[in-house]
Structure 1
Amino acid sequence: MSGACSDRYRQQEKAASRPPLPKSAIAGGGAGSKRKHEPPAFDPQSYKSVKLDSDSDATTTAAVAASGSKHRTGAVTIRDVGEDDDDDDDNADGAGEEFAPGQDADYYAEEDEDGRFFGGGLSNVQKQVLQIMENGGDEQQQLPGEDLTPQSVRKQLLALEKAVNKNRDLRTKYPTEPEKFVDSEFNLLETLRALFLLATKPALTYPLLLENSTPNTLADLLSHENIDVPVAVIEVLEELLDPEDLEDDAQDDGDDDQGDGDATEKKREALKALLDGLVEAGVVDLVVAQLQRLNEEDEGERTGLFHTLGLIENLVTLSPPIASPFLSPKSPFLSFLVERLSQDKRPAEYDQNRYYAAEMLALVLSLPPELVDGVNEARQRVGTEGWVDALLKVVSVYRKRDPHSADEIEFMENVFDALCSCLSSPIPAAAASSKPSSSAATPAHHAVKSAFLEGEGVELLVLMLKAKNLSRSRAIKTLDHALQGREGAPLCERFVESLGLKTLFSIFMGRGDDKKKKKGGGAGGTTHEDVEHILAIVSSLFTSLPSDSPPRMRLLAKFVESDYEKVDRLLEIREDLEARIAKGIDPALAREMDEDELYLEKLENGLFALQLADYVAAWVCMEDDGARDHVKMLLSRRDQSLNDIVAVLDEYASNIGDGDAVGEAAEERPEDAPLSEGEERKAILGELAKYLESVA
């Protein structure tokens, strides 16, 4: 009896030590009082004895009903404390500092049938932001994170360590009893979310994160059994490593004084140091591993996948070499991206992750090989792993229809960009050197172009050219990359066999553009970029198609037919390009530039397209005398001659590669070794220039 009485008195003392339930929580009057951010210091164990009784008085029930609550609510009572809650006495004093987890005034406002409590759905940070918005931008209102000090940050990080240790101990002690450690897990999640504010002052907080070995702690949490914990860690890291904050600061400091510039530099250094610490702790590999853990059937994990891709994008943006492990054959990253973007039978809410997967694939495959090891090897894997067929299947949908939204347009472009990066990738040196010396004169095997040819990619793109949808411009660009180089010779022949010349030259002549514009849809008119890619395709055809072969004869016939109308169009394009270059360069500035700067400026204004146009014109002149005379006649109308084309070709040849490097390579190369593609191109340009000079 005495034991029961003492338990009852202990319960009454504990109830008296707690603050009363706020009126706003009972009457449904909102989120309660607003509080500034503080590190979570509550203990959920101390609130186990608080419960809303189902037998509430009519007044309280009516008040809650008036507030719009959908759940049954009653008066506050004290339930019996179990034997497992004996340690609540030790936490009673500390619990009085905050009346509810997360200082959420709505924590006790609702309950479900099982008596579990729900808050208002807003964290401390979200409530602070909402308060700032309600105050209408009051200058005296303190923004979240402004009260951060080294002491408060250390206290926050210490709270994180305590939450991690407590949760680990309880999980180890009660592995089969989740109710024993669920409260500690909730506390851990709240403590993690409180780290968001550290991103507001990286110069102050990031060194403290490293000082307290927080990267190692976060790395350990990425392997937590509860998937909600790794998702929370990923969201925090995504916020801490957001490169857009640095870009915004750099723009803001453009017109500011030197002090603000130094502050931005300190932020940049702090961010780099934190990134290095995370890499050293093994966070990068653990983040990629989460992709296979997350189940998109669950809404929270579906959102977690989106944040995981966002974090990986931040990592690659801040430090491209970090992507090297992602691109390794041992990593599941590329296979996951291809598989995810290929899934098109899911509900609409899944599309954001699908679109993000396509964006990430295009990003990592476009990284410069000189900065990131393994990029060329990863591009070739797209061919060897059968992923070319998957990408072609995705883009084939847009042969008959246009994308339905701006997001879907970007998705389509990203898939095409991924294909272009792989098709234009050079063969890795290791793969090329593994070929026997007897086959040195034969083009090395290009896995992506071979898979593209076998998968009938050329035929698909030709059909897209005929359809005149939004995919037409992307198909032209992809064909340009596919037909380039020695490895593109088989694709050039397939292009002619697929009747691609008729459709290509129809676009080249601009036929059907006005009609399509009047209908208000489709690809619209031919852009400057389209013209450049078309000239590049024709250039590749002239370079790769064998002399006197039927495909080459069909190509030449296109320039001769209809009284040389294709030649007229070619010279018209050449004239427009010359005007663009002259208009885009200020003569006064041109006199102050050196030769290299002037050449780069001309490239920005369309010089490369002009070089391609003159390359095609030179081939046409060499192959057909009638076409040559027609070109000379058209040039003479503008007081020009074939020597003007020769000047462009000479400038083109002199800027292909590094002359010294080419010379050294020629000295070291055996006599029977074939020329490199750059040397072969220069040799062709030299022969064309000599011929034009002889007939000028």
Structure 2
Amino acid sequence: MPPPKPRAQGPAVQLDPDELLARAEREAFGGDERLAEQNATLDEKGLRRMVLAFERRYAANQTARLKHADEPDKFVDSEVDLDEEIKRLGTLAGYPELYPEFCRLNAVPSILALLSHDNPDIACDALVLLNELTDADAVESSEEGGAALVASVKENSGYELIYQCLERFGGEASPEDQAAIGNVLGIVENCADIDVDAAADFCAAAPKLLKWLLKRIGSKKPTDNNKLAAAEVLAILVQTSDENKKRVGDIGGIDALLRAVAPFKGKDPADEGEREVLENIFDALVASTMETNNKKAFVENEGLELMLMMMKSKRSCRTSAIKCVDYALTRCPAACERFVDILGLKTVFSVFMGKGFEKLRKSAGLEAVQEEEERAVSVVSSLFLHLAKGSERYNRLCAKFVEDEHAKCDRLAELYAKYSNRVKAVDARLETRTNEEFELTPDDLYVERLGGGLYTLELLSLIFASVFATGHAGIRTRLLLQMELRGVRRILETHAENIGGADGEEERVRRRAHVVKLLVAIGGGRPEGEEEEAKAAE
């Protein structure tokens, strides 16, 4: 029997590698194409398919809602399908490098439009998606992708639409509403983290945002995740934008912030969450007081009185309180005068002398002790700089260095030696760096030294020169027993040379002239070129 003839075979079919991979994935997931697609590596081709499917579902839902506006049963299926497509888009969070293509496909406007969807569940899903896509972990590997997404959100009026969700779900009457608010706050924070201008842009597009946040942190409701998030977002928005600092003042925010911290003048936070909320509110308050007009509002709303009570109470907020006083008194003569009038000298010099530091070290650590010490030095320095020389207030300040047998002079010398040694240690460390390892400019070196203690040492030198310039024989004798004028003069000369113009040319000239006068008072002469500036300031 002859052998069977071989079957005729057609030309071999060359399967596309992508199709082979897709087939293998479908087989691996039991033939479920949707499950296989979710677990596949996403590329531009896959993204286009995903966006197209989403847009189709969205269009179908819009059509069904228009056609059967009074018959929800007839469009509910389309909303289930749309909900699934929104959640599928969450896969994109793992591929931030595809965000520019996602924006080019014009998908962002559709996502933002969903925030106003009549079905709150759909709107909430859109918030979840935006929060996931802008999350720091999602965009970490592609800054360009994150920037493209935030830019597209801004260009398509996204900031306004996102804020409107705060008003829509702001009652937080249900767990779903609470989750929605949490996602909104997360989006705001994420955008501000990705784009440095987003903090100002968000509040410009949604002017009521800061007011909403201030109201939320001032709420008497128990501290929850949303209150914590609101305080954190408020601090970020104010700290990263000068425009927002001004906006806080314009809407009465200084008073609102003071009211929010006031309950803690006599008690400590109940738990870690409340403690974090309080810290963020203080951060927002401190940042706000950097704005000139807000300093005035801070004084008028008795902010200094409140901070002094907190400093005296020895509660956990005392460190934040003295930090706030420091910022409020900086470049503000009116605040300095008010501080003396309300008997603040006794309180700040108690900190200056280190009273209560051992207890503070045990409860809050060395970092808190260090900050209080440096803030006290800064406050005293501001008082010497801004109080009118020869005035009653100025004389009361100088008298502090005479009382208790010149104890403040001894403490001044002690602190000067401490920070001088700290700066020497920094200088020694900088000298060990080779030019091959680091290329530091003179400005870089100065900044390094400032962070290593030189800033506080300069302030201590200003205090020393101011006290020495009074001409009081007892003060001069006490200081000269423990300190060398040559070292102080050298620090002041360095300080004068490095006073910048960040606060304006007029302020720079005034401050340099002030240092020149102190140098003359302690026998240091004038640094080269300062004579004309001193005359201009006078």
Q: TM-score range by the shorter chain?
A: 0.7 to 0.9
- Tell me: CA distance 1:516–1:214, structure 2 relative to 1, closer, same or farther (3 Å): closer
* 8 Å Cα contact 2:339/2:345 also seen in 1: yes
Deviation for aligned residue 1:526: 5.7
* 8 Å Cα contact 2:357/2:369 also seen in 1: no
Percent identical across equivalent pairs?
Answer: 33
Could you say which residue in structure 1 is the equivalent of 2:65? 171
- Tell me: CA distance 1:37–1:302, structure 2 relative to 1, closer, same or farther (3 Å): farther
Write out aligned runs for 1:207-606 (5 A).
Answer: 207-247=100-140, 249=141, 267-294=142-169, 295-328=171-204, 331-344=207-220, 346-348=221-223, 351-367=224-240, 375-426=241-292, 446=293, 448-485=294-331, 488-515=332-359, 521=363, 527-585=369-427, 586=429, 588-589=431-432, 592=435, 593-606=440-453
Could you say which residue in structure 2 is the equivalent of 1:669? none
* 8 Å Cα contact 1:571/1:634 also seen in 2: yes
* Amino acid paired to 1:402: D
Q: 1:628 aligns with which of 476, 480, 501?
A: 476
* 8 Å Cα contact 2:254/2:288 also seen in 1: no
Helix, strand or coil at the partner of 2:197: helix
Helix, strand or coil at the partner of 2:459: helix
Deviation for aligned residue 1:547: 2.6
* 2:512 aligned with 1:682: yes
Deviation for aligned residue 1:143: 12
Q: Distance in 2 between matches of 1:293 and 1:209?
A: 27
Report how many residues are paired: 492
Helix, strand or coil at the partner of 2:400: helix
- Give the gaps of 5 or more residues in structure 2: 1-27, 526-538
- Tell me: CA distance 1:229–1:602, structure 2 relative to 1, closer, same or farther (3 Å): same
- Tell me: CA distance 1:183–1:625, structure 2 relative to 1, closer, same or farther (3 Å): farther
Could you say which residue in structure 2 is the equivalent of 1:370? none
Q: Deviations over 1:475-505 (max 9, x none)?
A: 01000010111xx222212212222211211
Q: Distance in 1 between matches of 2:382 and 2:458?
A: 13
- Tell me: CA distance 1:35–1:461, structure 2 relative to 1, closer, same or farther (3 Å): farther
For normalisation by structure 2, the TM-score amounts to: 0.85
* 8 Å Cα contact 1:171/1:181 also seen in 2: yes
* Amino acid paired to 1:537: V
Helix, strand or coil at the partner of 2:70: coil
Helix, strand or coil at the partner of 2:432: helix
* 8 Å Cα contact 2:311/2:318 also seen in 1: yes
* Amino acid paired to 1:364: L
* Amino acid paired to 1:281: N
Deviation for aligned residue 1:145: 4.3
Deviation for aligned residue 1:521: 4.3
Deviation for aligned residue 1:546: 2.0
* Amino acid paired to 1:386: G
Helix, strand or coil at the partner of 1:527: helix
Deviation for aligned residue 1:186: 2.0
* 8 Å Cα contact 1:340/1:354 also seen in 2: yes
Q: Distance in 2 between matches of 1:36 and 1:648?
A: 76
- Tell me: CA distance 1:377–1:347, structure 2 relative to 1, closer, same or farther (3 Å): closer
Deviation for aligned residue 1:39: 7.6
Q: 1:199 aligns with which of 93, 108, 121?
A: 93
Helix, strand or coil at the partner of 1:693: coil
Q: Distance in 1 between matches of 2:145 and 2:259?
A: 44
Write out aligned runs for 1:6-21 (5 A).
Answer: none
CA RMSD of aligned residues (A): 2.7
Q: Deviations over 1:439-490 (max 9, x none)?
A: xxxxxxx2x12221221111110011111111000001000010111xx222
Write out aligned runs for 1:54-69 (5 A).
Answer: none
- Tell me: CA distance 1:590–1:551, structure 2 relative to 1, closer, same or farther (3 Å): farther
Q: Which has the larger share of helix?
A: 2
Q: Deviations over 1:291-344 (max 9, x none)?
A: 111131121111111111111111111112123333338621111111111112
Deviation for aligned residue 1:658: 5.3
Write out aligned runs for 1:68-147 (5 A).
Answer: 145-147=39-41
* Amino acid paired to 1:320: V
Deviation for aligned residue 1:227: 2.1
Deviation for aligned residue 1:594: 3.9
For normalisation by structure 1, the TM-score amounts to: 0.66
* 8 Å Cα contact 1:160/1:191 also seen in 2: yes
* 8 Å Cα contact 1:539/1:612 also seen in 2: yes
Query: Which of these two proteins has the greater Rg computed from alpha carbons?
Result: 1
- Tell me: CA distance 1:524–1:211, structure 2 relative to 1, closer, same or farther (3 Å): closer
* Amino acid paired to 1:482: A
